[in-house]
Amino acid sequence: MLSVVVFLPLLAALVLLAVPVLPGRAALAVWVTVAAVELALLTGMWLAADLGAGVTDGLDYEQRVPWIPGVGSSYHVGVDGLSLPLLLMTAGVFLAAGIYSLAEDKRPREYSALFLFLLSMSLGVFASLDLLVFFVFFDLSIVGMYFVIAGWGHAGAARAALQFFLYTFLGSLAMLVAFLGLYVAAGTFDMVELARNPPLESKPVAAGFVLLALSIGLAVKTPTVPFHTWLPPAHTDAPAAGSAVLAAVLLKMGTYGFVRIAMPILPEAWRRYALVFVVVGVVSILYGALVALAQDDLKRMIAYTSVNHMGYVLLGLGAAGVLSGGDAEQARAVAVTGAMMQMVSHGLITAALFLLAGVLYERGHSYDMRRYGGLAGPMPRFAALFAVGAFASLGIPGFTGFLAEFQIFAGSLATVPVAAALGIVGILLTAALFLAALQRVFAGPAGELTERIGGVPTVRAGGKAVKTGLRPKLRVDVNPRELAAVAPLLLLALVLGLVPRPLLDLIEPAARTVTELVS
Amino acid sequence: MSALLVALAAAPAVAGTALLVVGRRVERSAAAVGVGTGSVVLILAVAAALLRPSARAPFVAGGDLALSVDALAAVVLPAVAAVALAVLVFSATGVRQHRVRFFGFLLLFEAAVVVTVTATNLVTLLLAWELMGATSYALIGLSWREPARVDGGRTAFLVTRAADLGLYVAAGAALAGTGSFELAGLPMADGVWLDVAAAGLVVAALGKAAQLPFSFWLSRAMEGPSPVSALLHSAAMVAMGGYLLLRVEPLLAASGWAGPVVAWAGALTAVAMGLVALAQTDLKQLLAASTAAQLGFVVLAAGSGAVAAGTMHLVAHAAVKSLLFLVAGAWLTAYGTKDLRELGGALRATPVAGWCFVVGTLALAGLPPLSLWVTKDEVLAGVDSTGLAAAGLLGAALSALYAGKALFLVLRPAPTAAQRPVLRLPLPERGALVVLAVGAAGLGALGLPAVAEPLRSALGEAPSPGPVELAVSGLVAAGSLALARRRPLAPFPVPQIAQRWLDLEALVALLVVRPVGRLATLLARFDDGVLDPAVRGLARGVVRTATGLARADSGVVDSGVRTTTVGTVILARRTARFDLGGIDGAVRAVTAGSRSLGRFARRPQTGQLHTYYAQAAALLAGAVLLLLLVR
């Protein structure tokens, strides 16, 4: 069943490429349909799932077929509380991106096929329980994203795409080095077996190096400071749907790797170096937020907030590895739960923000916030949606981001009080930067591009202002297609922020298991 | 029972959200929805105060979504709901622009207040607490075309959120020290966590209550419409800061140090903001500073353990101050000014509103037998240090001076040139004002033994004021009023800095905002100018070295892309002795696939993919090293 979910989009992609006569609109409709089917299938699987503690035990929909028996690698997939939320989020984000892209007119058939390919690879990453399988999916997703940016991006796309490709590929190779190290130590690539009997427990030096290689690979992907410089150009030049998927799904592969591979398989080393991750997390939080604060380019700003948000995740995961004197196991589990929730939350909210940035670009052909202003006039619905997205991203209660960050802070204060206190300042900085952005783009007098978008009285004929080029609001403001893409993401972030139990019931057992494994 | 409480919180939340979602199409019926919902909330709030329900729903680990009406909430809840209804009724005719957003956000705000008042743990509290801040931002910046208003909302939100960070810290301390987020469990927290939790809560509460050093945000919040100030900046949001301290008074007491710190913060604010109020000539600014000063008495009460007294003062002040803000708003609409020097004659020209203003200012002055005279003395009776008592008495005298200033300036006749037209407010507006004026005058009844005794027994025993104390404070108020009448504009010279709200905002700009901005610019430049080029340079160097190495090692690699791949695989096979066939195949497939796709995309980098393979070679060499190490 899980394999069907993973490979169905790939199959659809192949069909799309094989049938060149298919009109573009139909090809894009295939993307939306397949993503919707995937979401439905995954939801059904969630409802029917029989999940245990996860990670080492009680996984569901497991399938294991020998692949390269010589090295003990098998096609091994399955879900637990760590992977299922991300699988669901992935399908949802691809569905939204598909709806948003329904009007794409640049090689729509290939575009659709490429995204379906990416969907398969992304689902594969989160479903795989074998390091080699994980690696293959991980790398192929990078290839897919490379072509999305290079083929459909804005002006500087070629350079940005290459930088993205080389940087993340290089990172994945560091990760491969770590996988090989684990294999040599344990004789298997199977994540479940490795987590049950963590190798290298008695070889701290080797474990340290393996964790280093693994962490560099994952840190590039996440990205954390100082490995983040590929992110802003990649986002700035990617098409809106590509940015949404890149931020929502591909970044999570990095953080997911930490919680799925690094923590359970190298628990000793994780404990030993937990403070390093805490520090990297806090630096990412503050650095990402501060650099975002100084941006004039809306999309770059959102990109840097991703660095900030992923920093929270690392803070929570790092704090879970710090054993204080007292019995802080509950607090550490809360921190891991928050980190997992942040992955889902950031996926939903940032995907929405990037799609909204695309809406803006389509109207004004610029992301430069200095050239807008007063945009709430001609585009009230857009302003409302963006404001909701911004507040959700700055962690206003009611949305998932608040619960995620709240749990990360509350949980990590017990073990790393100073780092947590510094990290909390991050939510003030994100508030400052999002409010500044809202004010620059939407409030005040109309800016240069706003006038062009809204159409203002420019010609005076006989003393009377004549409105030239005035377009009806409906055509300027968010259209139904864009609304259908963005609103569900924000709505879901709201619903899960108010009624988090279904999601937390899924995450909490697995988060507890991870916490116990690193205890 | 719990359905009652859920309905109480949900009714305004749902109605407000519905208004905001439907948008401008319901501009006409927004007021009806607002008043209707406000009435329902008041009825439910009274019922809740009598029935004391609790409600609970699972939320996060360690903290349910938990609401409960206890003795403290039972007093404050109906009071806030009543003021909210009065403001909603007044606004039905008094607010003419952006009505959907006004009523929508006001109802959402009311929902947040209901939850804040009844929350029993830190998750629930924080949820509502920050929602109050967000709705306040939206309400202050209602007229978004005017940059100053949006700016004011932003300042208010950021300053209060800066203080809110304390609540996050307190929540973490609660989890670490008690294993849950329950407020009631905090006084039993272990060791240092108790102090951390107390410190966090105190900072958050002082920020919301606009106490020193956070007070300046309240000045900027005056950019919002007057009815917004009437609810948020008198009865509800600012007051919630004081309320939180009253609620966690056992924690303050248990910590040992937090009580006195809080008491002094309140007393100092009462004096300093009293001076600031006295220095203002803008009516709304005067009222704002006075709000901070009056909340100072509530905070003083919480720090001194006089919970019942603080509650009385909070409730009475809510009626007084929302009344005054509404009248100020009516004058601003009618006469286009809120400058006290230009409002001469306003009082006589608006019969009902004028009399209400008289009642409000006299109550604010603490003149017997009006409400704040009694409640302030209740607070001062609970204070156990001479210094605090003296500061409190000074604050009381200042209250009378600035209230007198406002009263006697508008009592002056109109400038002869500008004869004021008589202003007849619509009936609902007059009704709302009269109801609030009755409250402002009569809520001193809270101090009658029949009411005060049960309140004290429920909220904690504290001494009540004796006749001498009441007489002294009444005389102080009357004397200060007499002084204000003689010289209304400035009874005595107040330092210029008070007029500028003690330069607190400039200070924060100098010490925090500008350095952070500079740091952000600096880091952004570092990111673009140093870090990114460094990474690129490093990559180029690695590629060059790796390519060179690969070329030199002609035994394994001769040249070109494909052979590099093969070479790396051979290298890997030899040393690691396992089959990389899967990856090899995948890489080959990718190479083939990317080539064709790349050609299709007509992009120029096809020739550059070899850099990846060069890097692959270098990294696999690293892998070999690591393998040797692990073995």
What is the 3-class SS of A157-198, one letter each residue? HHHHHHHHHHHHHHHHHHHHHHHHHHHHHHCCCEHHHHHHCC
- Closest in A229, A376, A427 to B531, CB measured: A229
Amino acid at A169: F
The partner residue sitting opposite B630, judged by closest CB among A146, A185, A445, is A185
With cut-offs at 50, 70 and 90, classify the pLDDT of residue B578.
very low
Chain A partners within 8 Å of B131 (Cβ)? 396-398
Burial of B467 (0-12, 13-18, 19+ CB in 10 A): exposed
Most B CBs within 10 Å, among A145, A424, A505, A512, to test the B interface: A424
Closest Cα to residue B237, out of B160, B329, B143, B151?
A: B160
Choose the mutation target among B60, B518, B519, B544 for the interface with A, i.e. most A CBs under 10 Å: B60
- Among the partner residues A70, A291, A501, nearest to B58 by beta-carbon distance: A501
DSSP notation for B91-117: HHHH--SSHHHHHHHHHHHHHHHHHHH
Closest CA to B231 of B318, B292, B152, B155: B318
pLDDT band of residue B558 (cuts 50, 70, 90) is very low
Question: How confident is the model at residue B597, as a pLDDT?
Answer: 53
Q: B510 — phi, psi (to 5°)? A: -70, -40
B85 min Cα distance to partner chain A (Å): 25
- 3-state SS assignment for residue B79: helix
The dihedrals phi and psi of A198, each to the nearest 5 degrees, come to -60, 125
B145-168 residue pLDDT tens:
999 999 999 999 999 999 999 999
User: What is the structure's pLDDT at A255?
Assistant: 97
Min Cα distance B619 → chain A (Å) is: 7
Mean of per-residue pLDDT scores for chain A: 92
Average pLDDT over residues B55-62: 92
Contacts B163 to A, Cβ<8 Å: none
The answer to whether the CB atoms of B627 and A209 lie below 8 A apart is no
pLDDT one-digit tens code per residue, A138-162:
999 999 999 999 999 988 899 899 9
Spatial CA neighbour of A112 closest among A234, A243, A241, A248: A241
* pLDDT of amino acid B398: 96
In tens, the pLDDT along B370-404 reads 999 999 999 999 998 999 999 999 999 999 999 99
Ranges of chain A with pLDDT below 70: 324-327, 455-474
Mutate to test the interface with B, among A117, A167, A184 (most CBs of B within 10 A): A184
Distance CA B24, CA B18 (A): 11
How far apart are the C-alpha atoms of B250 and B554, rounded to whole Å?
Answer: 79
Give residue-wise pLDDT tens across range B450-496.
888 899 999 988 888 889 999 999 999 999 999 999 988 888 888 88
Residue from A107, A142, A170 whose CB has the most chain B CBs within 10 Å, to mutate:
A170
A424, A429, A439 member nearest B168 (Cβ):
A424
Q: What are the tens digits of pLDDT across the range B285-341?
A: 999 999 999 999 999 999 999 999 999 999 999 999 999 999 999 999 988 889 998
pLDDT surpasses 60 at B589? no
Instruction: Name the residue with tokens 């295939």.
Output: A30
Q: What is the pLDDT of residue B609?
A: 52
Which residues of chain A lie closer than 8 angstroms to B604, CB-CB?
A: 158
pLDDT greater at residue B44 or residue B631: B44
Q: Which residues of A touch B61 (CB under 8 A)?
A: 330, 333-334, 337, 407, 504, 508
Q: What is residue B561's predicted lDDT score, i.e. its pLDDT? A: 46
CA dihedral B133, B134, B137, B140 (to 10 degrees): -80
The H or E element that residue B426 is part of is none
Whether residues A410 and B181 touch (CB distance < 8 A) is answered with yes
Please report the pLDDT score of residue B613 as a whole number: 59
Neighbours of B213 (CB within 10 A): 16
The pLDDT, as a whole number, for residue B23 is 87
Q: Token pair of B265, please?
A: 């913060």
Q: Which residue has the higher pLDDT, A282 or B448?
A: A282
**Bridge partner residues of B60 (DSSP):** B63
d(CA B423, CA B329): 13
Q: Which residues of A touch B129 (CB under 8 A)?
A: 397
- CA distance to partner chain B, nearest, from residue A500 (Å): 6
Backbone φ and ψ for B66, nearest 5 degrees, come out as: -125, 125
| Range from A164-168, B48-52, B203-207 carrying the lowest mean pLDDT | A164-168
Cβ neighbours of A337 in B, within 8 Å: 60-61
Q: Do A181 and B169 touch (CB under 8 A)?
A: no
Q: Measure in Å the smallest separation between the Cα of B159 and chain A Cα atoms.
A: 9
Contact B590 A158 (CB under 8 A): no
Contact status, residue A301 vs residue A393, Cβ threshold 8 Å: no
Residue type present at position B13:
A
Chain A contact set for B161 (CB, 8 A) = 427-428, 431
Three state DSSP letters for A232-278: HHHHHHCCHHHHHHHHHHHHHHHHHHHHHHHHHHCHHHHHHHHHHHH
The enclosing H or E element of B190 equals none
Q: Quick check: B581 and A68 CB within 8 A?
A: yes
- CA A63 from chain center: how many Å? 26
Sign of CA dihedral A127, A128, A133, A138: positive
Is the predicted pLDDT of residue B177 greater than 50, yes or no? yes
Residues sharing a CB contact under 8 Å with residue B141, sequence separation 6 or more, in sequence order: A443, B149, B150, B152, B153, B154, B223, B224
CA Rg value for chain B: 32
Q: Which of A136, A178, A504 sits opposite B586 (nearest CB)?
A: A136
Q: Which residues of B touch A396 (CB under 8 A)?
A: 130-131, 134
Phi, psi at B36, each rounded to 5° = -60, -50
Q: What average pLDDT score do residues B261-270 get? A: 97
DSSP H/E element including A68? strand A60-68
B585 token code pair: 């195949």
